[in-house]
Amino acid sequence: MRYVTPRVPLRPAISALPAYVPGARVPVGAAAFKLSSNENHFPPLPSVQAAIIDAASDVNRYPDMFATELTEALAADLTAGLSLEALAADGPITPEQVVVGNGSVAVLAHILEAVVDAGDEVVYPWRSFEAYPIVVSVAGGTSVPVPLAAAGGLDLPAMAAAVTDRTRVVMVCTPNNPTGSAITHTALEEFLAQVPTDVLVIVDEAYLEFVRMDDPVDGLAALADHPNVVVLRTFSKAYGLAGLRVGYAVARPRLAAGIRSATTPFGVSHIAQRAAVASLRAKTELLARVETIVAERARMAAALREQGWDVPDAQANFLWLELGARTAARAAEATAAGVIVRPFAGEGMRVSVGEPEATDLFVKIAAGWR
């Protein structure tokens, strides 16, 4: 009789995980514009590249486990952005309130690991960031996805109604990925007033720097007024460090200490830390690039609307086209024509803002679909 060796079982939550689908890459040897990953198409500034090169000589050493210089620089930068009223009322942001990690996805996972027990419910909008259901399941939580409202916006009343006595966390993605819609600060405050104070609210502001609207969300103001708020941000988008993976959370000191306890030791490389610090020093130059991207976003949206597309009011560095059942076929056509986009089968297509030439080509492709 042949003996069959039993296989090591995986946790049911792991076996059932949905796959995270990254934006498609340009094939080797091919020529195409990559508008599939919401990347900043500008290369790092010369000063940031110099910091990366200089830091490379120390890769034989472990990085600073607590990213001391980076958390201090972040605290100072965040404090500089506070209003005089906020500064007088609540004081500066301190390094003890800042937790960095290997990208905002890793920081988000550490937040959930710090507060979510098996079976705890986590409410989030859907469709939204693809990592949400994955990190919830890995933490042992139970996902409670709430459908979006019209035009891809968050349905905050429905999200508030979804909170039960089993809810431990609510995630608010603004601007929302992949639809690009953002909520107002007034709407966020009204929502927070309905959420119990023992439920953690994560305000995910990965695309904060691209927002141009009246009454924008101010995550730090929400944190100052609500001790159950955690603000989540990243260096991947506006700062153009997607390949180095640096994200961070800002919270009250007790919560921050708990999140820090769950983080991976030495989770942010020395090169990434040095590049992030250099990027903060070059913030004025980097935000000038953001203005260029915002202007290109407006140009792309206007051109598509002129063709008759119903494009949501995007506040991030990408646009959303609702295509339903045609999505996969249209994405394949775009790829064949030289523009790689991010399709969400049966729903729509997310198109990142890139070079002006990429905009021109995609607009030409989209015109053919009308």
Higher pLDDT: 7 or 156? It is 156
- Give yes or no: residues 264 and 319 share one domain: no
pLDDT digits (tens, 9 = 90+) for 275-323: 999 999 999 999 999 999 999 999 999 999 999 999 999 999 999 999 9
- Give yes or no: residues 272 and 302 share one domain: no
Q: Is residue 3 part of a domain?
A: no
**Residue 1 pLDDT:** 56
Q: Could you give the CA distance from residue 109 to residue 269 in angstroms, rounded to a whole number?
A: 18
Residue 159, domain CATH: 3.40.640.10
pLDDT digits (tens, 9 = 90+) for 327-348: 999 999 999 999 999 999 999 9
- Give yes or no: residues 91 and 132 share one domain: yes
- Give yes or no: residues 140 and 234 share one domain: yes
Residue 32, domain CATH: 3.90.1150.10
**Residue 331 pLDDT:** 97
Q: Is residue 7 part of a domain?
A: no
Peptide bond into 274 cis (omega under 30): no
Region 204-209: mean pLDDT is 98
Q: Is residue 150 part of a domain?
A: yes
User: Which residues fall within 8 angstroms of residue 344, CB to CB, at 6 or more apart?
Assistant: 127, 178, 327, 350
Domain span at 30: 12-43+284-369
**Residue 25 pLDDT:** 64
* Percent of the chain scoring above 90 in pLDDT: 88
Q: Is residue 128 part of a domain?
A: yes
- Give yes or no: residues 161 and 82 share one domain: yes
- Give yes or no: residues 359 and 333 share one domain: yes
- Give yes or no: residues 154 and 64 share one domain: yes
- Give yes or no: residues 78 and 118 share one domain: yes
Name the 3-class secondary structure at 328.
helix
- Give yes or no: residues 88 and 221 share one domain: yes
Among 363, 355, 350, 370, smallest CA distance to 181 is for: 350
Q: Could you give the CA distance from residue 255 to residue 238 in angstroms, rounded to a whole number?
A: 26
pLDDT digits (tens, 9 = 90+) for 104-158: 999 999 999 999 999 999 999 999 999 999 999 999 999 999 999 988 999 999 9
**Residue 75 pLDDT:** 98
End residue of a domain, out of 229, 261, 282: 282
- Give yes or no: residues 30 and 53 share one domain: no
Number of domains making up the chain: 2
* Percent of the chain scoring above 70 in pLDDT: 95
Q: Is residue 315 part of a domain?
A: yes
End residue of a domain, out of 231, 262, 282: 282
Higher pLDDT: 56 or 15? It is 56
- Give yes or no: residues 65 and 23 share one domain: no
Q: Is residue 51 predicted with pLDDT exceeding 70?
A: yes
Q: Is residue 278 part of a domain?
A: yes
Q: What's the pLDDT band for 27 if we cut at 50, 70, 90?
A: low
- Give yes or no: residues 117 and 206 share one domain: yes
End residue of a domain, out of 254, 282, 310: 282
- pTM here? 0.93
**Residue 3 pLDDT:** 64
Among 310, 318, 320, 322, smallest CA distance to 294 is for: 318
Q: Is residue 6 part of a domain?
A: no
Average pLDDT value for the chain: 94
